[in-house]
């Protein structure tokens, strides 16, 4: 099968083609696994973290990609959840131990044996992939393959982030950064909390214009002061400075949720610039998001179909994966980027 393969850690600024097209064997599925013929795979900033070594794969070569939509091609002898031809999705969580206290209480995202699709196991930048059947999800018919792909990570982790803010209808919400996840959070928040106003902070004027076109009450630069103090803010950026800038806009008792697996090291000293009275005093909180649990994905897909929550997408061919990643690095973003495969 054809796949875009990562063979080593490198800087995407210096290496314009970190992924190489290769013919590799079609994966062998286990007795409780399914073989999926991939039709679409979303492109996520986490792939940049993998390529550049902030969350490196444990082995090479590896096939990246964890926002996967496709059809079941075959099932293992003990796999009973799906049948051949079912359309399924696969997200960042590939598997967990199923035995620890986290797994037993629905927090398998915190499992010490957590395995990630496209990092610890081959992902969806390929014609076929496999996954344990319990970590695959039925895709609602309302979504096309390309529309469904960003929902499996950008949407699901945005859903978890929004829940962790503790927002109530009528409270104000800030979004720092406006890529694939944030644009879905904006749409979701406007539907679920109609009395709330959403404020967007983004470096790019194009991103700010996009946010306003989707209904943002206000949009400004990352270091701007918002017109009012905000009850909660979700940070979706890959760097530290926007975290500090967001804290100054947080109301007393407010909560900042950081929706990121890793932060880039270029400004690692930025948190030393925290001014306690300005940024943290008056019982402000910072909370991180650790991946997603299975319930996040399944609940969000159901909610997204009910709303309905339709993501904005840009499509690329499998052989254009490097270009899509370069544009993501350069912040050339309007919604989610998706590879069309097959």
User: Does 230 share its domain with 206?
Assistant: yes
Give the C-alpha separation, 104 to 294, whole Å. Answer: 12
DSSP assignment string, 102-129: HHHTT-GGG-TT-EEBTTTB--SSBSEE
User: What pLDDT was estimated at residue 241?
Assistant: 87
Q: 217-242: per-residue pLDDT in tens?
A: 999 999 999 999 999 999 999 888 88
User: Does 94 share its domain with 39?
Assistant: yes
Average pLDDT of every residue of the chain: 94
User: Does 9 share its domain with 98?
Assistant: yes
The residue-averaged pLDDT of 256-262 equals: 88
Give the lowest-confidence range in 23-32, 170-179, 269-278.
269-278
Structural domain harbouring 35: 2-152+292-340
Whether 222 and 202 have beta carbons less than 8 Å apart is answered as: yes
The residue-averaged pLDDT of 262-289 equals: 74
Q: Is 128 helix (H, G, I), strand (E, B) or coil?
A: strand
User: What pLDDT was estimated at residue 116?
Assistant: 97
User: Does 200 share its domain with 225?
Assistant: yes
Whether 6 and 62 have beta carbons less than 8 Å apart is answered as: yes
* 280 pLDDT higher than 90: no
Pairwise pLDDT comparison (276 vs 62), residue with the higher score = 62
The residue-averaged pLDDT of 16-42 equals: 97
Residue 271: pLDDT band with limits 50, 70, 90: low
User: Does 272 share its domain with 310?
Assistant: no
User: What pLDDT was estimated at residue 333?
Assistant: 81
The residue-averaged pLDDT of 49-70 equals: 96
User: Does 255 share its domain with 320?
Assistant: no
User: What pLDDT was estimated at residue 268?
Assistant: 53
The residue-averaged pLDDT of 44-73 equals: 96
User: Does 148 share its domain with 184?
Assistant: no
Name residues whose C-beta falls within 8 Å of residue 214's C-beta, 6 or more positions apart in sequence.
183, 186, 187
* Number of domains the chain contains: 2
**Token pair listed for 305:** 């179909």
Question: Residue 173 belongs to a domain with what CATH number?
Answer: 3.40.50.720
Q: 281-326: per-residue pLDDT in tens?
A: 788 999 999 989 999 999 999 999 999 999 999 999 999 999 999 9
User: What pLDDT was estimated at residue 200?
Assistant: 98
Cis-peptide, bond into residue 308, ω within 30° of zero: yes
In the block, tokens 């800087």 appear at 11
User: What pLDDT was estimated at residue 270?
Assistant: 60
User: What pLDDT was estimated at residue 338?
Assistant: 98
Greatest Cα pair distance, the chain, in angstroms, is: 61
Give the C-alpha separation, 233 to 295, whole Å. Answer: 23
Q: 183-214: per-residue pLDDT in tens?
A: 999 999 999 999 999 999 999 999 999 999 99
User: Does 8 share its domain with 120?
Assistant: yes
């Amino acid at each position: 099968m054809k796949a875009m393969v990562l063979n080593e850690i490198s800087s995407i600024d210096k290496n314009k083609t970190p992924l190489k097209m290769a013919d590799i064997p079609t994966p062998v599925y286990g007795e409780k696994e399914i073989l999926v013929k991939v039709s679409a795979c979303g492109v996520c900033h986490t792939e940049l973290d993998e390529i550049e070594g902030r969350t490196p794969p444990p082995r090479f070569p590896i096939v990246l990609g964890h926002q996967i939509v496709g059809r079941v091609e075959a099932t293992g002898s003990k796999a009973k959840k799906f049948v051949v031809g079912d359309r399924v999705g696969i997200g960042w969580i590939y598997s967990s131990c199923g035995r620890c206290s986290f797994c037993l209480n629905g927090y398998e995202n915190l499992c010490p044996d957590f395995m990630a699709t496209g990092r610890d196991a081959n992902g969806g930048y390929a014609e076929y992939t496999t996954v344990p059947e319990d970590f695959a999800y039925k895709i609602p018919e309302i979504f096309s393959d390309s529309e469904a792909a960003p929902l499996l990570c950008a949407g699901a982790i945005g859903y978890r982030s929004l829940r962790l803010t503790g927002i109530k209808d009528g409270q104000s919400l800030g979004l720092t950064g406006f890529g694939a996840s944030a644009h879905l959070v904006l749409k979701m928040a406007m539907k679920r909390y109609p009395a709330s106003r959403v404020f967007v902070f983004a470096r790019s004027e194009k991103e700010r214009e996009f946010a306003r076109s989707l209904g943002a009450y206000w949009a400004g630069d990352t270091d701007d002061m918002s017109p009012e103090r905000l009850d909660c803010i979700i940070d979706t950026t890959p760097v530290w400075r926007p975290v500090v800038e967001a804290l100054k806009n947080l109301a007393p008792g407010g909560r900042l949720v950081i929706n990121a697996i890793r932060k880039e090291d270029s400004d690692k000293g930025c948190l030393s610039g925290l001014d306690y009275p300005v940024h943290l005093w008056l019982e402000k909180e910072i909370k991180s998001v650790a991946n997603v649990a299975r319930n996040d994905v399944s609940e969000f897909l159901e909610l997204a179909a009910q709303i309905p929550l339709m993501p904005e997408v840009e499509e690329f061919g499998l052989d254009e994966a490097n270009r899509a990643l370069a544009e993501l690095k350069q912040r050339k973003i309007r919604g989610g980027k998706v590879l069309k495969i097959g």
